[in-house]
Amino acid sequence: MLNYVKAEILKQKGSFNHKIIWLVPTVIIALAIVLMGSSYTFSGAYNWWYILFLPFTFTYIAATFVTKDQKKNYHGLMAIAKDKKRIWYAKVIVATLYLLVVNMIFFMMMIIGSKVLGLYIMPTRKGFTGSLLLFMTFAWQMPLFMYVGQKVGVFLSILISVVCNMIIACICALESYWWIPFAIPARLMCPAIGVLPNGLLVEEAGKRFASRDVILPGVIITVILYVLISWLTAQGFSRKEV
């Protein structure tokens, strides 16, 4: 299994995925600094990040992981691999690592940028916790949009992801049905970093959104989904013809 993972990592060298994980965080932080002002740089950047730019980024990565190989017939691996599911699991693992890396890059660039420019930023621990939670609660969508990507292509995958994550998060995250998977990241950001899906600070909307009771259930739901969807999509991939 380790060799499959190493092969997937090697195939990504020189790809646009290596650039997009730096490009998108840079763009969003620059926009927040220019448009939001020092007092709202943190809340503005994080709000735009998890509502729009992060779904765009990880869906592009997920979809290109499969469409690139699909065009080349998986480099002949489908004909010789003893267990095709291992190919899929390796792609899921590496794509998930990219999701972790892009969130940590965003976090580090926020910290460094704020220090260099002397802008306000909330405690480092909150920023790190928020980025880690975003990784954990978005991870289930990696195998999902990898599978969707090979069915409908990169563009439609990104469109579906952005629409689902933006609309469902904004509608459901602050309601009693916040546990709908697409709304969980936005809901958990309320107590984690104190920012609502609409960009307002939690203290402006009421203390109930600051409750951390939602964090553990939200993480458990999304981790179970990650395991389940990875397994289900691997079954479908293993039946794929050469």
Summarised one tens digit per residue, pLDDT across range 160-184 is: 999 999 898 888 888 888 999 999 9
pTM score: 0.90
Task: Identify residue 87 by its one-letter amino acid code.
Answer: I
For residues 190 and 106, give the distance between their C-alpha atoms in angstroms, rounded to a whole number: 18
Query: Is residue 101 classed exposed, middle or buried when 0-12, 13-18 and 19+ CB atoms within 10 A define those classes?
Result: middle
Centre a 10 Å sphere on the Cβ of residue 137 and count the other Cβ atoms it contains: 27
Q: What is the pLDDT of residue 192?
A: 87
Centre a 10 Å sphere on the Cβ of residue 14 and count the other Cβ atoms it contains: 9
* Least confident piece of the model among 19-23, 123-127, 146-150, 176-180: 123-127
Contact status, residue 137 vs residue 217, Cβ threshold 8 Å: no
Q: Maximum CA pair distance of the chain? A: 59
For residues 159 and 56, give the distance between their C-alpha atoms in angstroms, rounded to a whole number: 8
* Residue written as token pair 């997009």: 20
Q: Residue 55 has which token pair?
A: 């779904």
For residues 192 and 215, give the distance between their C-alpha atoms in angstroms, rounded to a whole number: 8
pLDDT at 106 over 80: yes
Three-state SS sequence of 107-166: HHHHHHHHHHHCCCCCCHHHHHHHHHHHHHHHCCHHHHHHHHHHHHCHHHHHHHHHHHHH
For residues 68 and 72, give the distance between their C-alpha atoms in angstroms, rounded to a whole number: 7
Give the pLDDT confidence of 10-19 residue by residue, as tens digits. Answer: 877 777 888 8
